[in-house]
Structure 1
Amino acid sequence: MSRQPTFSNTIHLRDFIDAIVDDPTRENAPKYVEIQTDINIFEEDGFCSPNIIAEPIRARIHAYLTRDKRDFYDPNTFFYADGRFSATLSADNTLEISIQALTLMRHPGDVADFDEYRRHLPEQWCPMVTVIGFVQSRNDNSLDPSQPRRFTVETSVYDTLNTGPVQFSVACFLENTKRWQRVKTPTSGALLSVTAKVAGRTTDTNHLALRILDLAYLPRPGTAAAASTPTVTPPSKRSRRWEGRAGPSTPSKKPRTSERASEHLNPSHMNTSPLDDSASTPPAATGGGADLLPTGDTESPSARASSSTAAGPEELSLSLVPSVTPDSETRPHRSRHPPRKYADFE
């Protein structure tokens, strides 16, 4: 790879403290410490391979601890830690794991009485890691087909101590179980995310040996942002269940004057009864101020205007309704006599 990107490779472990000292990589920083330990490695669930050495691996954990909390991390204290890690070879060609602790906790109890302290500790447990990297070209023709399949992942993590990326490789093993029988060995150049347990170190390359628990293929950098042709997804049957429904309706408004007038003309709106013949006769207009005045041609336009103004809105609407009597018949008119107070004017 021409330029290896950095990833967030993490490790989670729980083990015993061998020693705790000031961090040698940070001068004049007494609150930064280095926890030295040999992380616990053992064969688990019958998983073994002649290509793996299941022995403890030296680890150096860099963490930030105040002086009062540092006193709780004595030797033989059982602790829990997780953070970014890198696995590289030391000066004497020994595999060593460097961890930038993000979380660090101790198991409660009095370490001075170690026999009582260890009675409440959890059982042995191999460290777990999550590694993201590229698959290197394979050269496993010499491996026995009865042994777990193997491939190498090259990765890189940013080291805050050296203020730069640290590249390293890990050897991944697929055990011979039904779960992994049909899983093909990843091809060279594939970008993977691997979750695994630390099984030891390899005999030939002295790389960190990982027993795969899960793996996932990731898009290569730069290809995720490439333009892709949008795919048209056919509508599901569930979405068609909402078709054919009635649209939203608004509440009806109050009928206008013309609508109320048409209701009087439509016999279907009348409350008719087969025993009542009067229902077929349209209702007579109620008397108003205009009925008290003489109906003749001598009526002045101003009087007609005043009479229409004095009438209510309902009476006015009824006066606009045309007569429902046939054109051939003449509507009878009652002879009306003015009140006595108008008799002197005749």
Structure 2
Amino acid sequence: MSRQPTFTNIIHLRDFIDAITDDPTRENAPNYIEIQTDINIFEEDGFCSPNIIAEPIRTRIHVYLTQEERDLYVSNTFFYAEGRFSTALSTDDTLEINIQTLSLMRYYRRHLPEQWCPMATVIGSVLSRNDNSLDPSELRHFTVETSVYDTSKAAPVQFSVVCFLENTNRWKRVKTPPSGTFLSVTAKVAGRTAGTNHLALRVLDLAYLPKPVSAAATPTPTATPPSKRSSRWEGRAAPSTPSKRLRLLEPANDAADPSEMDTTPPEPKRGGSDLNTEHNTNSPSARPSPSIIANAEDSSLTSVPSLTSDSATRPHRNRHLPKKYAELD
């Protein structure tokens, strides 16, 4: 099911209250108020066009007020209001502006500001039109279609506004936005258009925007990404306890070439605590303990290839035995 996109179209106005009543769009809600006023339109800087009718526009402002606050907003009170707005035609084909107030403030008589036209910001798409039908003497203009969400109706309200460009040096080289363009327009309310009864806006600034994604398009299903915490353990090796024998064999593969090593056997040291070779091999009491043999096997020297040929006798290392074995000598 397609869904009409909604935008945040904002209007700023300040004028006098004509009447204040309970909001007819909200039943059994006494604190919801409707302020009625005909906002005044003023011609500025000679901006005029036969396609624009500069007359007051009927406006209905929906706002939430407590009873104490409501007593402050009486007829002929000057106020400022800001809120989301939309336009529609009443039963007598009169243009109306409906505002859902975001901010409301009253002025005292001694602090009345100068005359000022309402300002609006509208976001929407440019409708197609025939440029050949425009009179070159008239102001260039384009129609923007937009919509806002109406909370009282719980549905989007679609409407259009007509934007006019001045015949000034600022806008002389600016091209009229083509149809289908998505943009944001900041403008002053200039009145209503003749014949179509659309809100007429005098453009102050415009900006091109990227087109929104259509709500009717079916989103492409995407796979749920795996949890980052669980993926941390991927690629790890299986837990195992390497044997001591494998550790001893691995360095042997990376050992240096025997031809590059020093093959001169070490000189036996002469000292009172040293044992001769014959005594080491023949005396059972002088043999080292099993723990010493195990430590010798763990040494990296066991992984070094033999420095002599198979027919010759392997050289013996002179080791200093622990003191308790040296006393047996």
Interval of TM-score (by shorter of Structure 1 and Structure 2): 0.5 to 0.7
Q: CA deviation at 1:120?
A: 2.8
4+ runs deviating over 2 angstroms: 139-144
- Alignment-derived partner of residue 21 in structure 1: 21
- How many angstroms apart in 2 are the aligned matches of 1:53 and 1:203? 6
User: 1:269-325 CA deviation, whole Å, 9 max, x = no partner?
Assistant: xxxxxxxxxxxxxxxxxxxxxxxxxxxxxx977xxxxxxxxxxxxxxxxxxxxxxxx
- Alignment-derived partner of residue 83 in structure 1: 83
Describe the SS at the equivalent of 1:141. helix
- How many angstroms apart in 1 are the aligned matches of 2:84 and 2:188? 15
- Alignment-derived partner of residue 68 in structure 2: 68
- How many angstroms apart in 2 are the aligned matches of 1:79 and 1:300? 115
Q: CA deviation at 1:40?
A: 1.4
Count of residue pairs the alignment pairs up: 221
Q: CA deviation at 1:162?
A: 0.9
- How many angstroms apart in 1 are the aligned matches of 2:130 and 2:88? 21
Q: 1:222 to 1:28 in 2, by over 3 A?
A: closer
CA contact (8 A) 1:86 1:166 kept: yes
- Alignment-derived partner of residue 123 in structure 1: 114
Superposed, which structure 2 residues align to 1:4-153 within 5 Å?
A: 4-108=4-108, 117=109, 119-153=110-144
Q: CA deviation at 1:140?
A: 4.4
Q: CA deviation at 1:169?
A: 0.5
- Alignment-derived partner of residue 173 in structure 2: 182
CA contact (8 A) 1:136 1:189 kept: yes
- Alignment-derived partner of residue 168 in structure 1: 159
CA contact (8 A) 1:202 1:208 kept: yes
Superposed, which structure 2 residues align to 1:203-222 within 5 Å?
A: 203-222=194-213
Q: CA deviation at 1:78?
A: 0.6
Describe the SS at the equivalent of 1:68. helix
User: 1:179-203 CA deviation, whole Å, 9 max, x = no partner?
Assistant: 1111110111111111000000000
Describe the SS at the equivalent of 1:8. coil
Amino acid at match of 1:156: S
- How many angstroms apart in 2 are the aligned matches of 1:147 and 1:192? 23
CA contact (8 A) 1:41 1:126 kept: yes
CA contact (8 A) 1:147 1:176 kept: no
- How many angstroms apart in 2 are the aligned matches of 1:28 and 1:4? 29
User: Between the two proteins, what is the percent identity of the paired residues?
Assistant: 77
CA contact (8 A) 1:140 1:150 kept: no
- How many angstroms apart in 2 are the aligned matches of 1:9 and 1:43? 23
- How many angstroms apart in 2 are the aligned matches of 1:141 and 1:53? 23
Aligned-pair Cα RMSD in Å: 2.2
Amino acid at match of 2:33: V
Q: Which runs of 5+ in 2 are unaligned?
A: 215-270, 274-329
Describe the SS at the equivalent of 2:48. coil
- How many angstroms apart in 1 are the aligned matches of 2:152 and 2:130? 34
User: 1:95-148 CA deviation, whole Å, 9 max, x = no partner?
Assistant: 00000001011013xxxxxxxx2x531001100101011100113433321321
- Alignment-derived partner of residue 192 in structure 1: 183
Q: 1:140 to 1:89 in 2, by over 3 A?
A: farther
Q: CA deviation at 1:221?
A: 1.6
Q: 1:179 to 1:76 in 2, by over 3 A?
A: same
Describe the SS at the equivalent of 1:180. helix
Amino acid at match of 2:200: A
- How many angstroms apart in 2 are the aligned matches of 1:3 and 1:129? 25
- How many angstroms apart in 1 are the aligned matches of 2:140 and 2:176? 7
Amino acid at match of 1:145: P
- Farther off after superposition, 8-17 or 138-147: 138-147
Amino acid at match of 2:117: C
- How many angstroms apart in 2 are the aligned matches of 1:158 and 1:128? 20
Amino acid at match of 1:122: P
- Superposition TM-score, scaled by structure 1 size: 0.61
Amino acid at match of 2:193: T
- Superposition TM-score, scaled by structure 2 size: 0.64
Amino acid at match of 1:166: V
User: 1:203-245 CA deviation, whole Å, 9 max, x = no partner?
Assistant: 021100000011111111239xxxxxxxxxxxxxxxxxxxxxx
Describe the SS at the equivalent of 2:122. strand
- Alignment-derived partner of residue 326 in structure 1: none
CA contact (8 A) 1:60 1:97 kept: yes
